[in-house]
A and B are shown apart, each in its own frame.
Chain A
């Protein structure tokens, strides 16, 4: 048993729902008790979908157990086929139905349904949401792909875009960017799947000359099968960031046998200049902590270190399936890799690293808020804020522009940083108020959200005011510490105390403070 307060991933059948909801004319018959319908709100509320997810829940109760739950399943499947007339169905069990072992696959097969019914085996007690999405998509492709179809190999290259799904972090907008690149290169898109594809479209998946795997968490398994079955090569470069986008374009162009220049010369790519312009000097060496799904975390690490000149001080992901890839990146950056789905462990690691910016999921956003750190969200799990009304991709050159803005805005701007230092002695200046644009992040004025924060489940992380401060710090040193701007004060305090401990000092005076500053100067 694992104690969990918040989880990064839902159960695997929620992954299957993300595939089903992303697709068209597909229906999911889920053997599940009352209550599992909560998952509908992920799509209708968080993603603001105007349609119910295409899922029928059998809704069995305690009194049905051992009696007619199998009948309930068949009845639900029959009604769903009649009412929704899907081109295909996927059938499976949620965690509770898995325990009663009704075998939805066998039941569906025995029913002679008017459309193909694809059975899903999603082990709820060992797997999670991403795995469930990946397995579901793979089963759909494997079961529906018409094997008599072969790659077109025509004059114009034909490509499948694999991985985007319902409830994905900016998937909607990423697809637009990738289509734009394909257009610029003169490549035709056979299908995007699961997002927007119908079972009928999937039958033609073999017609493409190659595949683009945008989100390996969902698309990789299917891509591997397509590689084997249709001899379709796959592009696995995830085009998040300017460098990765350039590599992606070159690889796609090479496979399609076209000139990459039309896509590379996108004059909408502002991020490189924004990063080189003088105001960005202050970004140099900012310490960032990165956590998310492996794909987004790895991409963020590259952007942070190569394209923004940040120092990555922590890197991790919650999906073990991609731990190897993440570890490689962490090794290159010489930081420890944090592979965990325990958000308390992540909170501890962030507190320990004292970054100046946190790039994470909605969980890390809340952790950062508690710790008074600026944060930008880079990955699922998603929140209603992650579905903005405007176009806001992560991929392609426009994605890089968006990333520049969304990562840099939470930070104190270059000139503003100096102005804060200049004016902080003025009585008009309210140091504790934080930077003007940081209303949401301002560390001193931050109020607990809705509920008073009870004692955390973990041991206290880093008490902002150590109990023995009065003994450790001399009055002079303490006064001096207060002159340091609030957004680096915590770091300065921590470094100084660490330095003092290393030097075996029992007291921190002015000298120690500045010795430590010199010691940690970069």
Chain B
């Protein structure tokens, strides 16, 4: 990865426990739950099985039950037996969908495990359908299958599919900043205000609120990653001339400050000016975090692999709240993108990549951390063993980035502990 700043080398090569076995994680399709809310003009059509539809419903159904902008084209026996041509069937479903939902401006055909295994060529289908429906509707494809993507990697794949669609930046334009990763609108607006005050002139966000309104990209565009799971997106953006800024991720007062500083440095913005601009937000964040410090300081925490947010969040909890990370698991470790994070983690942390859930739960039982961050399938079973948990999915669905969410983020971890102390039954 060609960095604007040289990638900092970790203090030492840490041992990483790599495991293989049952993974208790969502597949990449789950990203649709937040991506469809972010891109209000886009529709996500999963080409998959009843299981895919059931997954989306189970992961999302409890949270949103409005008429959603996602659906599943369920492959049936006749499609597999060759009685129906899968491509024709898909075309029929898409035509029906677009006739009913003419407001859809971007349609994502989302590949699944079954569609990958039967080698359904969704890229080709998207191209053919796109030709027919442009300019009204653009049709793109990506894979959110479990055999290829883990949870947040679905967003990575989706954003990667958007990269070739981004307009080319005109030559000789002033260099631009591109913030990458789906952020809740309110957080995006907060960052936009900060960038304005800092004096950035051209700031784009990927994904944009309207999928048809993509920011331009070209040589010299500086990429500021807002999420730690965008390996492929970053690579694709680099392929179009972008340069990734190495920075920690914007969690907590210090993480957000360092993130903004890193961007400002690349654009030659005076450091004193940056300090002045971010001071109020940073102070607010510190005050908000301080409320939870008493509850969290000295408490031991384990992260089970889930969203790839584990390492930056463990860094935030360790450096700003005094928590002690015991084991930090991640489904996939991108050492380069996380270099600034890894070096701030205490040496005592056990880092693990991949999962063998039974072996990992054995370690949790042995470690007995004060708090375990895990998926919905594991939370109640651990609680019933007397281990407090935090649902990791809330960290993906709630606004947690930036100064003004730092307190909320700390509170998400403090609440289960506070509850444990309050409840007397």
A residues touching B (Cβ–Cβ < 8 Å)? 1-7, 9-11, 13-14, 33-42, 44-45, 48-52, 56-62, 65, 76, 79, 83, 94-96, 99-100, 123-126, 128, 366, 383-384, 448-459
Considering the complex, give the chain B residue whose CB is closest to the CB of A38: B55
Q: How far is the CB of A29 from chain B (nearest CB, A)?
A: 10
Inter-chain CA distance A442–B153, complex, in Å, is 41
Please tell me which one of the listed residues A4, A7, A96 contacts residue B117 in the complex, with CB atoms under 8 A apart.
A96
Inter-chain CA distance A42–B380, complex, in Å, is 12
CB–CB B103/A38 < 8 A: no
Additional A-B contacts beyond A1-B47, A76-B21 (12; CB < 8 A): A6-B61, A34-B147, A38-B27, A41-B58, A42-B58, A44-B381, A45-B379, A51-B381, A58-B22, A96-B51, A96-B117, A454-B68
Residues of A within 8 Å of B89, CB to CB, are 1
Q: How far is the CB of B40 from chain A (nearest CB, A)?
A: 8
Residues of B within 8 Å of A455, CB to CB, are 67, 101, 103
> Mind listing 17 A-B residue pairs with CB under 8 Å?
A1-B47, A4-B71, A5-B70, A10-B50, A34-B147, A35-B113, A37-B25, A37-B26, A41-B376, A44-B380, A45-B377, A52-B377, A95-B50, A366-B65, A454-B68, A454-B103, A457-B100
CB–CB B147/A33 < 8 A: yes
CB–CB A126/B77 < 8 A: yes
Residues of A within 8 Å of B65, CB to CB, are 366, 449
CB–CB A124/B51 < 8 A: yes
Considering the complex, give the chain A residue whose CB is closest to the CB of B46: A4
Inter-chain CA distance A339–B47, complex, in Å, is 25
CB–CB A50/B383 < 8 A: yes
Contact with A along B70-94 (1 / 0, CB 8 A): 1111111101100010100110110
Considering the complex, give the chain A residue whose CB is closest to the CB of B148: A62
Residues of A within 8 Å of B23, CB to CB, are 34, 37, 57, 59
Residues of B within 8 Å of A41, CB to CB, are 58-59, 375-377
CB–CB B66/A125 < 8 A: no
Inter-chain CA distance A362–B358, complex, in Å, is 34
Considering the complex, give the chain A residue whose CB is closest to the CB of B380: A44
Q: How far is the CB of B207 from chain A (nearest CB, A)?
A: 17
Please tell me which one of the listed residues B24, B49, B113 contacts residue A40 in the complex, with CB atoms under 8 A apart.
B24
Given contacts A1-B79, A449-B66, contact A39 B384 (CB under 8 A): no
B272 at the interface (CB under 8 A from A): no
Given contacts A2-B73, A34-B25, A95-B51, contact A7 B57 (CB under 8 A): yes
B residues touching A (Cβ–Cβ < 8 Å)? 21-30, 37, 40, 47, 49-51, 53-55, 57-59, 61-77, 79-80, 84, 86, 89-90, 92-93, 96-97, 100-101, 103, 113-114, 116-118, 145-148, 150, 358, 375-381, 383-384
Residues of A within 8 Å of B30, CB to CB, are 35, 38
Please tell me which one of the listed residues B25, B59, B77, B100 contacts residue A125 in the complex, with CB atoms under 8 A apart.
B77
Query: Which 10 A/B pairs are nearest by Cβ-Cβ distance?
Result: A35-B27, A35-B146, A50-B384, A40-B377, A96-B113, A41-B376, A95-B49, A10-B54, A1-B89, A33-B146
Inter-chain CA distance A456–B86, complex, in Å, is 26
CB–CB B118/A45 < 8 A: no
Given contacts A50-B380, A52-B381, contact A6 B58 (CB under 8 A): no
CB–CB B96/A3 < 8 A: yes
Given contacts A3-B97, A124-B50, A449-B66, contact A38 B22 (CB under 8 A): no
Residues of B within 8 Å of A5, CB to CB, are 67-68, 70-72
Inter-chain CA distance A452–B185, complex, in Å, is 14
Considering the complex, give the chain A residue whose CB is closest to the CB of B45: A3
Q: How far is the CB of B375 from chain A (nearest CB, A)?
A: 7
Residues of A within 8 Å of B103, CB to CB, are 454-455
Residues of A within 8 Å of B64, CB to CB, are 449-451
Considering the complex, give the chain B residue whose CB is closest to the CB of A57: B22
Question: Interface on chain A toward B: helix, strand, loop, or mixed SS?
Answer: loop
Residues of B within 8 Å of A125, CB to CB, are 49, 75-77, 79-80
CB–CB B77/A45 < 8 A: no
Q: How far is the CB of A415 from chain B (nearest CB, A)?
A: 33
Given contacts A52-B381, A62-B148, contact A4 B66 (CB under 8 A): no
CB–CB A65/B117 < 8 A: yes
CB–CB B37/A451 < 8 A: yes
Q: How far is the CB of A175 from chain B (nearest CB, A)?
A: 22
CB–CB B66/A453 < 8 A: yes
Q: How far is the CB of A482 from chain B (nearest CB, A)?
A: 29
Q: How far is the CB of B355 from chain A (nearest CB, A)?
A: 8
Inter-chain CA distance A34–B383, complex, in Å, is 24
Inter-chain CA distance A34–B29, complex, in Å, is 11
Inter-chain CA distance A458–B97, complex, in Å, is 9
CB–CB A124/B49 < 8 A: yes
Residues of A within 8 Å of B68, CB to CB, are 5, 451, 454
CB–CB B146/A450 < 8 A: no
Considering the complex, give the chain A residue whose CB is closest to the CB of B116: A62
Given contacts A96-B113, A99-B114, contact A1 B75 (CB under 8 A): yes
Residues of B within 8 Å of A366, CB to CB, are 65
CB–CB A33/B145 < 8 A: yes
Considering the complex, give the chain B residue whose CB is closest to the CB of A1: B89
Q: How far is the CB of B420 from chain A (nearest CB, A)?
A: 16
Considering the complex, give the chain A residue whose CB is closest to the CB of B71: A5
Given contacts A39-B58, A59-B21, A383-B62, contact A48 B380 (CB under 8 A): yes
CB–CB B381/A1 < 8 A: no
Considering the complex, give the chain A residue whose CB is closest to the CB of B143: A62
CB–CB B378/A52 < 8 A: yes
Residues of A within 8 Å of B146, CB to CB, are 33-36, 96
Residues of B within 8 Å of A62, CB to CB, are 116, 145, 147-148
Please tell me which one of the listed residues B69, B147, B375 contacts residue A61 in the complex, with CB atoms under 8 A apart.
B147
Residues of B within 8 Å of A128, CB to CB, are 50
Residue of A1, A50, A76 ringed by the most chain B CB atoms within 10 A: A1
Inter-chain CA distance A457–B74, complex, in Å, is 16
Considering the complex, give the chain B residue whose CB is closest to the CB of A75: B21
Considering the complex, give the chain B residue whose CB is closest to the CB of A363: B65
CB–CB A453/B376 < 8 A: no
Inter-chain CA distance A41–B67, complex, in Å, is 23
Residue of B92, B93, B114, B377 ringed by the most chain A CB atoms within 10 A: B377
Q: How far is the CB of B126 from chain A (nearest CB, A)?
A: 16
CB–CB B24/A2 < 8 A: no
Q: How far is the CB of B224 from chain A (nearest CB, A)?
A: 28
CB–CB A448/B66 < 8 A: yes
Please tell me which one of the listed residues B57, B69, B100, B377 contacts residue A37 in the complex, with CB atoms under 8 A apart.
B377
CB–CB B147/A99 < 8 A: no
Q: How far is the CB of B26 from chain A (nearest CB, A)?
A: 6
Inter-chain CA distance A7–B29, complex, in Å, is 16
Residues of A within 8 Å of B53, CB to CB, are 4, 6-7
Residues of B within 8 Å of A9, CB to CB, are 50
Inter-chain CA distance A9–B54, complex, in Å, is 8
Residue of B24, B25, B118 ringed by the most chain A CB atoms within 10 A: B24
Given contacts A449-B66, A450-B63, contact A3 B73 (CB under 8 A): yes
Given contacts A4-B71, A7-B57, A41-B58, contact A61 B378 (CB under 8 A): no
Inter-chain CA distance A33–B25, complex, in Å, is 11
Inter-chain CA distance A124–B75, complex, in Å, is 10
Inter-chain CA distance A83–B54, complex, in Å, is 29
Considering the complex, give the chain A residue whose CB is closest to the CB of B91: A1
Residues of B within 8 Å of A99, CB to CB, are 80, 114, 117-118
Given contacts A35-B27, A128-B50, contact A4 B113 (CB under 8 A): no
Inter-chain CA distance A217–B114, complex, in Å, is 27
Inter-chain CA distance A459–B67, complex, in Å, is 12
Residues of B within 8 Å of A100, CB to CB, are 117
Considering the complex, give the chain A residue whose CB is closest to the CB of B40: A454
CB–CB A3/B377 < 8 A: no
Considering the complex, give the chain B residue whose CB is closest to the CB of A10: B54
CB–CB A44/B49 < 8 A: no
Inter-chain CA distance A377–B145, complex, in Å, is 34
Given contacts A42-B58, A44-B381, A99-B114, contact A7 B66 (CB under 8 A): no
Residue of B93, B114, B150, B379 ringed by the most chain A CB atoms within 10 A: B114
CB–CB B148/A61 < 8 A: yes
Considering the complex, give the chain B residue whose CB is closest to the CB of A63: B147
